[in-house]
Amino acid sequence: MKHLLWLLLWIVLFGSCKGNADTKGMESDATTLASKIKIGWNLGNSLEAIGGETAWGNPAATQELIDLVKENGFNAVRIPCNWHSGYIDNETTCTIDPEWLARVSEVVDYCVNRDMYAIINIHWDGGWLDENPTYEMQKEVNRKLALLWTQIATHFCNYDEHLLFAGTNEVHVSGIYDNKLVTPENHEVQQSFNQTFVDAVRATGGKNVYRNLVIQAYNTNIELAVNHLKMPNDIVPNRLMVEIHFYDPYDYTLGKTTLYWGWPYKALGVSHWGQEEHVDTVFAALKKRFADNGIPVILGEYGVDYKARVDEDMVYSRVYWLEYVTRTAKVNGIVPFYWDNGNIGVSEVPDQFAIFDRHNVKVFDQPAIEGLQRAASSAVYPF
């Protein structure tokens, strides 16, 4: 209680945007806003790239690209962002380059200009945040996290509810992905990051008092979210969402050895796990834990590597996965955002997720887009 009273006093006295809380354009709580998002798309491997927006092979984002995304049925864009590596003056003050703040604003505007929703976050960002959920690093990471989110939230404070903030990304101890190796320390520290994020944003005042915010479970893992995630304290009710990611089964979505998925393709060889029943089970668990309690879930990333197109079954098995996951997500109160990193075609590295050709600003994978839109249009949220 003392913590909340102090934060409210801080907002009134020192809020950086407009001081007093501003509800104009911020009427939708988390559930209402989630219900407005049909399906989202990721502008991946762009604004989070280390070395500049085009460092990872994608062209600079344009209004024309976002128009193409909108025309193909998506009404929200997740914009992964790097704010630290190459964009701050020094590690002490962490002052963000104003030109970079302006560039991210420009990309956000591409979305909101088309009446689309946008999510900005602090992504991998060189790993200073994503890879350090430990007691040893907790104080320093939280210090920098508060400095960065105070600046980001202040800069974007006049945007209405079309803009959401997401605190972190896939926070995990570097190299450790086995859930059995995750410790209570890791959960506690990650959840302190969530609290720091919420407190920093709310303290800037104005519209940010009511902005819908997205917090993450450890490594955005579904099992760990259901069993261990504790929601941060917030000075306003019903303005928080939870983010998870989904790439099951990994040997199919992120590998080259398993080429088919789902019961229609079982005879061709599918993974021994992660089929339809698995999707049903884990998404239903998320619904029971979060959506049924007024907390929508953002499926911030999901997708399947393009793979070699050996036969038509391979093409439509991938479409079947995309449709099934999208539809099952929505009926369980989970808002889907397809992961598109801009990588086109077939590669030995399983990292080809593009459905749009960003260089030529045109559709690249029409069957995938049609499958995503069929599922998004037919599925109904439970709220």
370 among known catalytic residues: no
| Closest CA relative to residue 47, chosen from 111, 140, 133 | 111
**Distance between CA atoms of residues 193 and 196, nearest Å:** 5
Q: Which of 53, 131, 161, 170 is catalytic?
A: 170
Please give the Cα distance from 258 to 271 (Å, whole number): 6
Q: DSSP states of 208-270 as a string? A: GGT--EEEE-GGG-HHHHHHH--PPP-SSSS-EEEEEEE--SHHHHS-SS--B-SGGGGGG-B
Among 301, 323, 348, 370, the one annotated catalytic: 301
Query: To the nearest 10°, the Cα dihedral for 170, 175, 178, 180?
Result: -100
Using CA atoms, how far residue 221 sits from 178, 264, 282, 307, in Å, is: 10, 28, 11, 25
CA-CA-CA-CA torsion sign (225, 246, 165, 128): positive
In angstroms, the CA 193 to CA 141 distance is 8
Distance CA 365, CA 353 (A): 10
Is 170 one of the annotated active-site residues of the chain?
Answer: yes
Q: How far apart are CA 109 and CA 35, in angstroms?
A: 22
Which residues, at least 6 apart from 275, have a Cβ–Cβ distance to it below 8 Å?
A: 249, 261, 262, 263
For helices 2-14 and 184-203, give the axis angle rounded to 10 degrees. 30
Distance CA 315, CA 368 (A): 9
What residues are annotated to the active site? 170, 301
